[in-house]
Amino acid sequence: MPLIPAKALPHFENMIYLPMVLTVLQRDRELFEKGPFKLKGPYLKIVDNTVKQVQSELQETSFYLRRNNMKVIRKTRDSMFTEYIFINGGYEDHRRYLNVRLRNRTEELLELYFTKSGNQLTGH
């Protein structure tokens, strides 16, 4: 049996990526609020709607990990990699992620969430 079951891996990775997505959204929201936009409302609405979606998924992920006695710990970070420890039932699986991959995946997720938010706002 593998240390990390295949079905659990997306949950572990959500605990890495979703907080990053939230950080980006919160920073962007501040920029929209303070920026020289003529009509801030639509931008803020999309960001706020997206934050709600991400928070909801993060809450579900946290519940899944707790229920299954799993945990993610961010360990070391250097200019190239960030190391995470995935803990599953007392076993530790150390994984290193390229920082550029973390950034690119966070951007991909933002695009997916914005598409969902935009569709919800327009009723599609």
pLDDT of residue 5: 85
Contacts for 42-47: CB closer than 8 Å, 24+ residues apart = 45/121, 46/114, 46/117, 46/118, 46/121
SS3 content of the chain, % helix, strand, coil (to 5): 60, 20, 20
Is the C-alpha dihedral spanning 100, 95, 84, 111 positive or negative? Answer: positive
Higher pLDDT, 99 or 3: 99
Confidence band, pLDDT 50/70/90 cuts, at residue 90: confident
In the chain, the percentage of residues whose pLDDT exceeds 70 is 93
* CB 70 within 8 Å of CB 88: yes
Domain spans in the chain, listed from the N-terminal domain onward: 9-122
pLDDT of residue 122: 61
* CB 114 within 8 Å of CB 50: yes
The pTM of the full predicted model, rounded to 2 decimals, is 0.88
For the segment 32-47, the average pLDDT, to the nearest whole number, is 90
